[in-house]
Structure 1
Amino acid sequence: MTTGILSSLAPAETAALTRRVTMLSVGTAAVLVSLKLAVWLASGSVAVMASMADSALDLAASLATFFAVRYAVAPPDREHRFGHGKAEAFASLIQAGLVFASAALIGREAVERLIDPRPIAQEGWATAVMVVSAVLTLGLVRAQTAVLKKTASVAVAGDRVHYVSDLASNAIALLGIAGAGLLGVSGLDAAAGLIIAALLVWGAVGVFREASDQLMDRELPDEARIRILEVVRQDPRLTHVHQLRTRASGPFIHIQMHVDLDPELSFEAAHKVTDDAERRLVEAFPSADVIIHADPRGRAETHSEPFSDED
């Protein structure tokens, strides 16, 4: 959500897309872990081990995302009146923690191999599995990118960070393996592992920031707030829009505001004006939950200082 991408789809369509892409993510990670484990056992390559550990944690994170996106679209209940959308942000925090752990383990192993270099066996197999890994990962990232163009799933965005890092780590691992095999310098393999660890830390920081923004109820991007005001003000009877507050919750967004209306309008007429405005907002933002409070123009109540912003 903080990237400025807002879903243009109805919640049911968003749920269907995220379910499919998270299932693909789990399947891809399972295949990659199996392939890399076999080759690592045969070759002893630190770069392959690093990439395998990353894929194993990607599998755990993808499983968390797989369940989170399904829970996030569950309807509100007595205990969760605003729904369950923030389950996606919690899944992203899990992803970030796993990636940090992976980076630490890979970095330690790489440093040990730099101190005590060991030759790599079966360079051909190690290279082949990294190529296969890169091809499968590229296909998954393209699928995730397509989904993120239509949805605002912070969980899928976090999952995608893992696999973008995988693409980079696969390329670096290939360079390390090739350099060690062709030049006979085993330290290149360990150096590749250190670079992979650094990339993982960078990606994890981005995932953590995105999830934190949602958990802290950060406002929607400025362009979304501007669009909200434009939609509301299509009716000239709605003036002085103020107290606009927005936040994201997984696949949903929440919008609330105060508007001034002619105090001479009947209660029924005022209700229809605000009801029409809410309908327009839901048409513009299908995943939105909207609350509009009407104030009689010139007689609005005074709001407490921390929440007295005006738009």
Structure 2
Amino acid sequence: MSASDAAKKVIPDSAALNARLMRRATYAAVAVAILLIAMKTVVYLFTGSVAMLGTLLDSILDGTASLINLFAVRMSLTPADDEHRFGHGKAEALAGLGQSVFIFGSAGYITFEAVQRLIEPAPVQNSASGIAVTVFAIALTLVLVAYQRHVVSQTRSLAIEADSIHYRGDLLMNLSVIAALILSGYLGLHWADPVFGLLVAGLIAWSAAKIVMNALDQLMDRELSDEDRERIKTIALEHPEVVNLHDLRTRSAGIHSFIQFHLELERDITLMDAHRISDEVEKAVMKAFPGAEVIIHQDPAGMEKLTRLQRI
């Protein structure tokens, strides 16, 4: 088996594992969202808390976003075909942009309700039930976020990362809801509920902005991080027969990375040796970046400098 064949065998196994992790993460997020929506709806009807309304609406949006992610992940994992030679990974970024619209709308609605409550204060009822449900929501969300972070660390999925941002924000929101219920329900500070509602709205809007920025990075083919680019260079130059490399270009789409560069080799080696060296470098890069598509062009050492001089 050649070096390139060995590398290609590793990639499908890694891709299949990532696909399973991503699907399970989407199912878990939808299940958690449905449970939290049902519980928070009941508690909001009992308490009338604006802060609870904020976290209820956020859970509804989380559920909607998680459902969108479920379909987006299925699409992004669809293999490349004749019309989509680079795969369908950007479906995740498009889903992220779609989520952000809903999230910004939610933040606006919570802001409106909170301002109305500041103008016309109203006491919060049944604070104890609200606190109990919120504590349960925090525990459940912590478990989900921990699993999502594990999946993101393995797959670098934008869709799962976007979902995780939602639920990490939920943790802060739920803590603010507890504070609002205590201050308003037990201490009679009725202004606390709408104020914390405004804080919740701000957190939701900030989460949406982060999702938009991450999605645009993928849609605009932004380079991988400086750390990853340096890692690629280091891997290539570690090969004893590689002289240098240039024109490194990278981008990502969903869980897939695309890496291409020119490899500078000694001028007097055979074509077979150049092919072998490139295969060995390709295998090393693929091992460090599972699921990546790597394209390497071989150049005689010093040819890049000569070409630049000829252009002057």
TM-score by length of 2: 0.90
RMSD: 1.9
Tell me by how many angstroms 1:146 deviates.
2.0
**Which residue of the partner structure matches residue 40 of structure 2?**
36
Structure 1 position 302, deviation (Å): 4.1
* Residue matched to 1:91: 95
Query: Where does residue 289 of structure 1 map in the other structure?
Result: 293
SS of equivalent residue, structure 2 residue 246: strand
Deviation at 1:122, TM superposition (A): 2.2
264, 271, 278: which one aligns with 1:274: 278
- Per the alignment, residue 25 of structure 1 pairs with 29
- Pair 1:63 & 2:87 matched: no
Match of 2:114 among 110, 116, 134: 110
> Structure 1 residue aligned with 2:241, among 237, 241, 250?
237
CA distance in 1, matches of 2:268, 2:220: 40
- State the Cα deviation string for residues 6-46 of structure 1 (Å, max 9, x = none): x9x81111111111111110000001111111121222211
Residue aligned with 1:75, SS? coil
233-242 or 216-225, which deviates more? 233-242
3-state SS of the aligned residue for 2:200?
Answer: helix
CA offset at residue 61 of structure 1? 0.5
Shift of residue 264, structure 1, vs aligned partner = 2.7
Query: Given residue 269 of structure 1, which amino acid in structure 2 is its aligned partner?
Result: D
Residue aligning to 2:19 = 15
Alignment deviations for residues 231-263 of structure 1 (CA, whole Å, 9 cap, x no partner): 212323322300000111111111000122233
Contact kept? 2:127, 2:182, Cα under 8 Å: yes
Q: Residues 123-162 of structure 1: CA distance to partner in whole angstroms, max 9, x if unpaired?
A: 2222222122112111111111222232211111111111
CA distance in 1, matches of 2:294, 2:101: 34
The code of the aligned residue for 1:81 comes to R
- Confirm or deny: 8 A CA contact 1:218 1:247 kept in the other structure: yes
CA distance in 1, matches of 2:35, 2:74: 23
Alignment check: 8 A CA contact 2:243 2:266 kept = no
Counterpart of 1:221? 225
Q: Distance in 2 between matches of 1:180 and 1:261?
A: 72
Any idea what SS the aligned residue of 1:172 has?
helix
C-alpha separation between the residues in 1 aligned to 2:92 and 2:218? 9
Amino acid in the other structure paired with 1:294? Q
Equivalent residue for 2:166?
162
Q: CA deviation at 1:110?
A: 0.4
User: Does the CA contact (< 8 Å) of 1:11 and 1:252 recur in 2?
Assistant: no
How many residues are treated as equivalent by the alignment?
A: 297
1:272-311 deviation per Cα after TM superposition (whole angstroms, max 9, x unaligned): 22122212211222211000011223445847xxxx9xxx
Measure, in 1, the Cα distance between the counterparts of 2:303 and 2:43: 74
- Asked whether the 8 Å contact 1:65–1:155 carries over to 2, the reply is yes
* Partner of residue 202 from structure 2, selected from 187, 193, 198: 198
Structure 1: state its 5+ residue gaps.
1-6
* 1:73 partner letter: L
Gaps of 5+ in 2: 1-10
Between 1:102-111 and 1:86-95, the stretch displaced more is 86-95
2:156 to 152, 158, 161: 152
8 Å CA contact 2:278–2:296 kept in 1: the answer is yes
Give the deviation of 1:183 after TM superposition. Answer: 1.9
Q: Aligned letter for 1:68?
A: A
Q: TM-score, normalized by length of structure 1?
A: 0.90
Amino acid at match of 1:214: Q
Percentage of identical aligned residues: 42
